[in-house]
Homo-oligomer: A and B are copies of this chain.
Amino acid sequence: MKVTVSRRAHFNAAHRLYKKDWSNEKNNTIFGKCNNPNYHGHNYELIASVTGEIDQETGFVIDVKILKDIIKNEVEDAFDHKNLNLDVSEFKSLNPTAENIAVIIHQKIKAKLEGHLDLEVTLYETSRNFVSYSGK
């Protein structure tokens, strides 16, 4: 009897999409205005969804307070009010597309969960653009 428990969080950050070893022309062709060298930014909305059996004692799959604290420590404290390219080590050499940010967030939260729990993350870059990753 597997239930999925989801927690929503958010962080605000600046970023720039580009590839260092490409010409400026190619970066503009592929990344358009997302390649602004002065950066732009987003209010990122995150949903972390944890799947597992209900604990018969507590009635919880996971205590949401625990999930909330993991998200705060691993994601909000690391990414909020930051420049993803300059301030966050994972994106020093990894392009901070929504896809790559979702994969990094998945890795960071998954490492803190008990091993029997599955995780999917959904990351909204805007209300119109979002990505999901479940580690599969």
Contact = CB atoms under 8 A, between A and B. Distances in A.
A102 B32 CA distance: 27
A83 to B, nearest CB: 4
A42 to B, nearest CB: 5
Contact of A3 (B17, B61, B99): B99
B58 A38 contact: no
Given A5-B99, A12-B42, A38-B87, 16 more contacts: A1-B103, A3-B103, A3-B133, A4-B131, A5-B131, A6-B129, A8-B127, A13-B41, A17-B59, A32-B65, A38-B82, A41-B41, A42-B42, A43-B43, A54-B100, A60-B97
Dominant secondary structure of chain A at its interface with chain B: mixed
Range of interface residues on chain A? 35 or more
Contacts of A86: 38
A101 to B, nearest CB: 9
Contact of A64 (B5, B38, B95, B129): B129
Contacts of A57: 19
21 contacts: A1-B103, A3-B131, A9-B128, A12-B126, A13-B40, A14-B38, A14-B83, A19-B57, A30-B58, A32-B65, A33-B80, A36-B82, A38-B39, A38-B86, A43-B126, A43-B127, A58-B95, A59-B99, A60-B99, A61-B131, A64-B129
